Chain A
């Protein structure tokens, strides 16, 4: 493995963490958007606040991490992607602004503005993963030329990019629902657990169907990646992903919490690394390889060192944050479900 490959793996680690944890935060916004009104909707939104409130900002930093590693280690690919896909990227940035502001301020604003802020948060949570998905789909379909300045509209409005966009929203919603099942279960709220359980199952079915369409689209528009996913080692990761998905479904249906989140995370991570293996050695299939896009060698070494430094400082801190928020030390021993009802009446 060359240093460029190591940097690509670091980049993809960031993508994976953002897709799963950042994705779950967007997915929670999707459920918030669909929650409607009434007493239960209030409880749903309160659970969403409790689950993502302490972690969403930290999760969001993975996106910055991905951008920085991309422009530092693979500046040619960064420039090619941004000079071609600037429309979906600008719209994703808009979504990120609206989501962040909507979520951060929806309860802090004066009464009459709270509901619009909540709608903004929900709507932005739907469009952001969609547009980020179209970017990934456009890259997978080979629509981003190595020298950049590809077609600004046709590149991301094809069958594969649009399917990928929809798939991203559905998978984010599914992951979020699973996390929320687990969190409301841990909080002892049976009713809310069932609520998210039904949605997790529905999202799993719809996302599964969309994934089938995605495979057809990949076969048509992204042949290189398709071939990689249907041969060793890509196929092994696809099978692993499917197995994790089935385990998660089993745990959901049988009402168990233990291992549920791990299974959902495993399903997402395995398919993402399946893509990585399938696209290898390309960063932009099939116009730019990882080694072609790689920057100066000292820079690649520096990226690896920075990542190692991040691993020893950020990851323990992140774990501390997750543990504190999960143990609800940060949440003041907040627990019983009955207390959670209709707080804002």
Chain B
């Protein structure tokens, strides 16, 4: 017995270390991935607008944004590579058993990543060197690759939530894989649209927030106004659609992944006429401190108070998601922030419709300035619900995360190194972006950016 206890402690510590490592690196990468998906589209809109209306400021924005895209893409490529190593380093047993079932999604993603890397390089280098038409055309593959890449990665994740498209033989090996069923599993549709819109919302509010801060500091020129309006409009269009898609997704989760739904809504006892709790802690079989609205949860799931909703009491104890309060609060925070962003978009839309201008109060800019960060927080909360809510499974119903983890020691050390490295990476990325923005304000030549032209050429151009 004394031998068994440390062994158990070891393996569960390994699981926690591996999950922490994966969660941290994914949480870091996902923000960059969103920007990689949607920022090129925002940049292309600015270029298209600039060329159509012959607007020099819009073109200047597009050009500057393309440099920010390059910086973010370079960091995203690095953090994405780390993730693909982590599949093998942290979850070798998962890949061994299911790699041939869901790996193909990443093969498709690989093509899009390739095209994105190639055309970003062409686009950045192509300012002033390609004809305006060719230059704008070179951005289209970037935008399409962003969408396609997001679809493939989300399909893989959706498959982990709703695994299908394969059989298991007597030894438990995957056979008879049906790639289309893998890619188009029941969760792919809503997860993809939800994430795709999230990418545009996060990018829109995040980029707009930079210019909102600039305007609050008194830089109310056309450059800042457009820099705010273009991304903000993109986000404002996506947000109402997101409320609808998110609502559909939650109902689908209630049907397909009842354990996750029960955990995120903190439903202990299955039944009809379920109370919807806003906030609160989930302890000892009840919700403490939340605002309860009787019957609303059942109504949201099936448009009737009589809708039956599964409770945690119907889930076997060893299959119950952990950290119920975290899940519940994450879900509420995501919905709360999403609703807040929707109201912000409505405020903007009404003002614009009535007098073709931004709301004049400074509060609009102040709220917009924090909307970007709020959108990122909502994104993280959503992923906590999706991923922690699936636990203890890595492949829902088929493989436990504890059976997938590597026995290799030293993951906490790796995590320590990763944190410091990513912290440095984050600081560097922000420093570089700030340095770029300062130079744009001073109209000075840029420092060199990834994929950018060499410094020698720039100094000639500046001379």
Which residues of the partner chain B approach A302 to less than 8 Å between Cβ atoms? 104, 107, 177, 179
The complex places the Cα of A324 from the Cα of B118 at a distance, in Å, of: 11
B103 CB contact (under 8 Å) in A46, A54, A71, A97:
A71
Asked if B75 lies at the interface with its beta carbon under 8 angstroms from chain A, I say yes
The complex places the Cα of A53 from the Cα of B448 at a distance, in Å, of: 11
Asked if A318 contacts B457 (CB within 8 A), the reply is no
Asked if B136 lies at the interface with its beta carbon under 8 angstroms from chain A, I say no
Would A71 and B457 be within 8 Å (CB), given that A100-B74, A100-B78, A332-B129 are in contact? no
B117 CB contact (under 8 Å) in A58, A148, A334:
A58
Among B89, B421, B453, B456, the one with the most A-chain Cβ atoms within 10 Å of its Cβ is B456
Asked if A332 contacts B81 (CB within 8 A), the reply is no
Asked if A330 contacts B113 (CB within 8 A), the reply is no
Asked if B428 contacts A89 (CB within 8 A), the reply is no
Distance from A204 Cβ to chain B, minimum over Cβ atoms (Å): 28
Which residues of the partner chain A approach B455 to less than 8 Å between Cβ atoms? 46, 49, 107, 343-344
Distance from A18 Cβ to chain B, minimum over Cβ atoms (Å): 12
A105 CB contact (under 8 Å) in B128, B179, B450:
B450
Contact stretch, chosen from B51-59, B186-194, B352-360, B406-414: B406-414
The complex places the Cα of A79 from the Cα of B93 at a distance, in Å, of: 7
Asked if B82 contacts A148 (CB within 8 A), the reply is no
Q: Mark A313-327, 1 if CB is under 8 A from B, else 0.
A: 110011011001100
The complex places the Cα of A106 from the Cα of B456 at a distance, in Å, of: 15
Asked if A90 lies at the interface with its beta carbon under 8 angstroms from chain B, I say yes
Among B88, B89, B457, the one with the most A-chain Cβ atoms within 10 Å of its Cβ is B88
Distance from B185 Cβ to chain A, minimum over Cβ atoms (Å): 15
Asked if A81 contacts B88 (CB within 8 A), the reply is yes
Would A75 and B85 be within 8 Å (CB), given that A295-B177, A299-B101, A332-B128 are in contact? no
Asked if B130 lies at the interface with its beta carbon under 8 angstroms from chain A, I say yes
Asked if A331 lies at the interface with its beta carbon under 8 angstroms from chain B, I say yes
Q: Mark B81-111, 1 if CB is under 8 A from A, else 0.
A: 1101101110011011111110110111111
Distance from B408 Cβ to chain A, minimum over Cβ atoms (Å): 5
Contact stretch, chosen from A154-162, A208-216, A266-274, A303-311: A303-311
Q: Which residue of B lies closest to A79 (CB)?
A: B96
Q: Mark B62-77, 1 if CB is under 8 A from A, else 0.
A: 0000000001011101
The complex places the Cα of A295 from the Cα of B101 at a distance, in Å, of: 8
Asked if A329 contacts B130 (CB within 8 A), the reply is yes
Asked if B348 lies at the interface with its beta carbon under 8 angstroms from chain A, I say no
Asked if B449 lies at the interface with its beta carbon under 8 angstroms from chain A, I say yes
Asked if B125 lies at the interface with its beta carbon under 8 angstroms from chain A, I say yes
Would A75 and B432 be within 8 Å (CB), given that A67-B88, A96-B81 are in contact? no
Q: Which residue of B lies closest to A57 (CB)?
A: B117
Distance from B137 Cβ to chain A, minimum over Cβ atoms (Å): 12
Q: Which residue of A lies closest to B436 (CB)?
A: A108
User: Quick one: which of A47-95 are within 8 Å of B by CB?
Assistant: 49-50, 53-55, 57-58, 60-61, 63-65, 67-69, 71-73, 75-76, 78-83, 86, 89-90, 92-94
Asked if A108 contacts B84 (CB within 8 A), the reply is no
Asked if B100 contacts A299 (CB within 8 A), the reply is yes
Asked if A72 contacts B119 (CB within 8 A), the reply is no
Asked if B113 contacts A97 (CB within 8 A), the reply is no
Distance from A276 Cβ to chain B, minimum over Cβ atoms (Å): 20
Distance from A278 Cβ to chain B, minimum over Cβ atoms (Å): 25
Which residues of the partner chain A approach B125 to less than 8 Å between Cβ atoms? 54, 324-325, 330-331
Asked if B85 contacts A93 (CB within 8 A), the reply is yes
The complex places the Cα of A100 from the Cα of B110 at a distance, in Å, of: 18
Which residues of the partner chain A approach B457 to less than 8 Å between Cβ atoms? 331-332, 334, 343
Overall SS of chain B's interface = helix
Which residues of the partner chain A approach B174 to less than 8 Å between Cβ atoms? 295-296
B95 CB contact (under 8 Å) in A50, A65, A82, A100:
A82
Q: Which residue of A lies closest to B408 (CB)?
A: A86
Asked if B431 lies at the interface with its beta carbon under 8 angstroms from chain A, I say yes
Q: Which residue of B lies closest to A81 (CB)?
A: B88
Q: How many residues of B contact A (CB 8 A)?
A: 81
Q: Mark A130-151, 1 if CB is under 8 A from B, else 0.
A: 0000000000000000001100
Q: Which residue of A lies closest to B175 (CB)?
A: A296
A330 CB contact (under 8 Å) in B80, B82, B126, B175:
B126
Would A71 and B454 be within 8 Å (CB), given that A58-B121, A86-B408, A93-B85 are in contact? no
A75 CB contact (under 8 Å) in B100, B451, B456:
B100
Which residues of the partner chain A approach B23 to less than 8 Å between Cβ atoms? none
Asked if A332 contacts B114 (CB within 8 A), the reply is no
Asked if A152 lies at the interface with its beta carbon under 8 angstroms from chain B, I say yes
Asked if A1 lies at the interface with its beta carbon under 8 angstroms from chain B, I say no
Distance from B334 Cβ to chain A, minimum over Cβ atoms (Å): 30
Which residues of the partner chain A approach B117 to less than 8 Å between Cβ atoms? 57-58, 60-61
Asked if A317 contacts B115 (CB within 8 A), the reply is yes
Distance from B404 Cβ to chain A, minimum over Cβ atoms (Å): 10
The complex places the Cα of A53 from the Cα of B120 at a distance, in Å, of: 12
Asked if B343 lies at the interface with its beta carbon under 8 angstroms from chain A, I say no
The complex places the Cα of A83 from the Cα of B414 at a distance, in Å, of: 15
Q: Mark B420-456, 1 if CB is under 8 A from A, else 0.
A: 0100110010011001100000000001111111111
Asked if B460 lies at the interface with its beta carbon under 8 angstroms from chain A, I say yes
A104 CB contact (under 8 Å) in B74, B97, B118:
B74
Asked if A6 lies at the interface with its beta carbon under 8 angstroms from chain B, I say no
Which residues of the partner chain B approach A318 to less than 8 Å between Cβ atoms? 114, 118
Distance from B36 Cβ to chain A, minimum over Cβ atoms (Å): 12
Distance from B44 Cβ to chain A, minimum over Cβ atoms (Å): 17
Asked if B454 contacts A334 (CB within 8 A), the reply is yes
The complex places the Cα of A86 from the Cα of B91 at a distance, in Å, of: 11
B406 CB contact (under 8 Å) in A76, A86, A97, A307:
A86
Which residues of the partner chain B approach A325 to less than 8 Å between Cβ atoms? 121, 125
Asked if A89 contacts B88 (CB within 8 A), the reply is yes
Would A296 and B101 be within 8 Å (CB), given that A53-B452, A78-B88, A78-B95 are in contact? yes
Q: Which residue of A lies closest to B447 (CB)?
A: A108
A296 CB contact (under 8 Å) in B100, B107, B128:
B100
User: Quick one: which of B125-179 are within 8 Å of A by CB?
Assistant: 125-126, 128-130, 141, 166, 174-179
Asked if B216 lies at the interface with its beta carbon under 8 angstroms from chain A, I say no
Asked if B3 lies at the interface with its beta carbon under 8 angstroms from chain A, I say no
Task: Report the 7 A-B pairs with minimum CB-CB distance, sorted nearest first.
Answer: A295-B100, A75-B99, A72-B103, A82-B88, A107-B448, A343-B456, A79-B96
- 13 extra interface residue pairs, beta carbon distance < 8 Å, beyond A58-B121, A331-B129: A46-B455, A50-B454, A68-B107, A78-B92, A86-B89, A100-B81, A107-B448, A107-B449, A152-B408, A302-B104, A334-B454, A343-B456, A343-B458
Q: Which residues of B are interface residues toward A (Cβ below 8 A)?
A: 71, 73-75, 77-82, 84-85, 87-89, 92-93, 95-101, 103-104, 106-111, 113-115, 117-122, 125-126, 128-130, 141, 166, 174-179, 406-408, 414, 417, 421, 424-425, 428, 431-432, 435-436, 447-460
What are 11 A-to-B residue pairs whose CB atoms are below 8 Å?
A46-B454, A53-B454, A58-B118, A75-B98, A79-B95, A89-B88, A109-B435, A317-B114, A317-B118, A320-B118, A331-B453
